[in-house]
Structure 1
């Protein structure tokens, strides 16, 4: 209990200081480990309420992509039962309620196992959940329920205090016109995205123009929305206009508006995008595509804060914050004479570069979890997961199309996996678990079938292992195989557990838990 209190104290201190979620991942994981580390749980999660969904902030024994998945109570009866239970909610081994993590582990959680959870509350308000799963019957029977419930109540109280401190800090910031309307962002693992989010937090409360640049598909539009949401203009409109999609002869009218009869075909008055964004933010996507002839007029608006609709004799004041978005190198465009230098410097008041996905492989599992959950809902299946080889293939690929390519790759893979199970009737889909393998991903220059684990000792089961297994019950044979495989990799890696986990393609925490169950660790 002392280690739990220490971990809780440290987490509360950092929450109260306003540390961001991407820097708190280790603290949440440490806290979860102190709660369940001495139990025989094979999988556990700590979830917090984020608006109307439960979001895992720490997982043990589960793939890391689970942290990228939202869990809605109405879609997960077991989580709903835990949330409604006043104490420790235990499920009987033969419970017919689907397990939200079934299919995310190699073992089938729909079979007999031990499962429980406890709600974290502030009075009647749900703040989060703690879940524990053991893969053996009565695997959690020795758990001290009174101690777990006391810890859960203390954690709920601390989460409420941290939330109140965060609310007070936000209200004070709003009173000072600083950090208003801060919207929740994706919680990244990678240093490049953490640096981007820090820079975004710095510039968002200001009215400085931002030049947002990066390769196609990196998620620049999502960053632009986050900039607006975290600005003091968050209550105003966010107007997005794709400069490349506007017909050249109508660009001025689209941006600045026109009066009736201003030109042939102008049958009625039209508000332009600047007028529609008054009091808010105007996102100029693909700004590098603007014709040179129009660029001086855009520069004048930025300098004077006024627009003059076509056919109007008077200027109109507008209060607009500009976010210019491009995948071009505008500095090179200036040198080539295709973009005005004065407009470039006006737009480039605060540049933000969104890093390509190949420079932040640590984020792939979070993004994959998010897209897998989207596709699970779209296809109406019970769960959708990546096997270890597919996750390794995603991490190894360079992603020239960035986040958009990852999204489309997983959508196609999910559809292929469903297509392989054509015998499934629509009514039975909600019970189906789809596992994505490398051949579903169909990435260029990647193996199309699951490959053996690297290392000569692990390339295939030995004849002795196979013959022994034939004379044993399935569970015991599986345990023996796993025990020998782990021992072989440990020996090859000089007892380096992290390297062994990487070779086996599983989460290091899961490997330690399996090793303890198999008697390989104390």
Structure 2
């Protein structure tokens, strides 16, 4: 007895409609069923978010694909798929670039996609996204029944609708869309940036963001340099009732000490030399919204006292003025220092520390996030592909292993810069621009970059001298590291800051405290 292949593919999906499943498992089952119906080398489910297609689940594609964000206007095949109501198959000799060229997993090189098929998904008559199928053999879809794919797409749409309704029963989609638009306008048209990751520690952090975002608590974000503390602050603001109001940011380490107070609280005309006009400070600009104080541990003690007063009473005075101004501001602060240690050392006020750290939130370093590094690499690869005007940009398996196994002292920021450098290096090895540019292990250059090598603690860490405390020993070690780096870079402080993975302003303050400059 012949069994209908469409029926075999649809039955499991129908059964899943009534089951509570995690999104990733529901989507994995959907793509598995699709490959049973239409055998091919790769399939993907992409959701349309504004003018960008976001991969939710993939099979047969490089793992970094999940981190890529495909701008519809930059990918003509995806645009055509969205414009057509039913399935679309591109001919094998189609000259339009394929977004998956070089991304189909294989073991023989960076083969280009030769057969491409896709179908849009509609929810309530509005485009929701796409399912795509790709094959390396140009004859794979030659005899495909497109009606079967369209029927499958209808049930796939029901599957994603079930998932969204389960996850957002208490949410109103239109309210969320309007909120996003308001946020976009408040951010100057940039829109909220995305926190990318699927690791358990990343998901726990996102749960904390959602929890504290809905509260009015002050948040102290801690984490190493480059982990994305500013992005976390943006996400907290977006989750809060203040999301329709501005988020104002200030990097406390990037300002001269004499200007910090003016930046925070404003000043009146003639308050100091150069104050030819009065101006509002960051707190007044953030009225009704949120202020984000990055590197808050760098604030001078005198400014810390005035900041505490604003947090306690909501009252501030501009520099040079006796007039009180009331502000209603939620504060989110961030630091890569241990502020508790700073309090014990007398460099940070204990009362301010307790005011700021009502809800402490730690951002995990990249080395704790496992294969999230590949998703983030995919995001940066797609950015560089568009920036460099490349048709396709990929990273080969050997380079992927290096990324996953690296300790990432500079975290996500280091990864972003590494991908940009590697793209340029890989491009420089070609006399003519290739259709598919591959970043290999050599292009990453990770083994030949002493900047990213952790110090040998067994060899370099000085022993605690008799009668010398921990602080004195740490200061001596920091002084030695900075002095050695200065010698290597012939006194160039910018290069020293880059090698030691420290903000240049922070390095300047540390060097002054240690008596180096």
* TM-score, normalised with respect to structure 2: 0.77
**Residues 91-490 of structure 1: pairs in structure 2 closer than 5 A:** 91-105=90-104, 106=106, 110=112, 113-122=114-123, 125-141=126-142, 143-159=144-160, 169-171=170-172, 185-421=194-430, 423-424=431-432, 429=433, 432-444=435-447
Q: Distance in 2 between matches of 1:169 and 1:212?
A: 28
Contact 2:197/2:376 (8 A) holds in 1: no
RMSD: 2.8
What is aligned with 1:53? 52
Q: Distance in 1 between matches of 2:258 and 2:112?
A: 62
Number of residue pairs matched by the alignment: 430
Q: Distance in 2 between matches of 1:172 and 1:114?
A: 36
SS of alignment partner, residue 96 of structure 1: coil
Q: CA 1:416–1:82 in structure 2 vs 1: closer, same or farther (change >3 Å)?
A: same
Contact 2:315/2:327 (8 A) holds in 1: yes
What are the Cα deviations for residues 255-289 of structure 1, in whole angstroms up to 9, with x where unaligned?
A: 11122233343322110110011111101111001
What is aligned with 2:38? 39
Q: CA 1:134–1:263 in structure 2 vs 1: closer, same or farther (change >3 Å)?
A: closer
Q: CA 1:76–1:197 in structure 2 vs 1: closer, same or farther (change >3 Å)?
A: same
Contact 2:10/2:155 (8 A) holds in 1: no
Q: Distance in 2 between matches of 1:78 and 1:172?
A: 28
1:309 positional shift: 1.3
Contact 2:122/2:129 (8 A) holds in 1: yes
* TM-score, normalised with respect to structure 1: 0.76
SS of alignment partner, residue 169 of structure 1: coil
1:181 positional shift: 8.5
Contact 1:376/1:382 (8 A) holds in 2: yes
SS of alignment partner, residue 361 of structure 2: strand
Q: Distance in 2 between matches of 1:212 and 1:8?
A: 44
Q: CA 1:214–1:110 in structure 2 vs 1: closer, same or farther (change >3 Å)?
A: closer
Structure 1, gaps ≥5 residues long: 16-22, 447-522
SS of alignment partner, residue 129 of structure 1: strand
1:117 positional shift: 1.2
SS of alignment partner, residue 57 of structure 1: strand
Q: Distance in 1 between matches of 2:350 and 2:376?
A: 37
What is aligned with 2:481? none
What is aligned with 2:25? 26
Q: Distance in 2 between matches of 1:12 and 1:213?
A: 41
Q: CA 1:242–1:133 in structure 2 vs 1: closer, same or farther (change >3 Å)?
A: same
Q: Distance in 1 between matches of 2:424 and 2:448?
A: 21
Q: CA 1:4–1:383 in structure 2 vs 1: closer, same or farther (change >3 Å)?
A: same
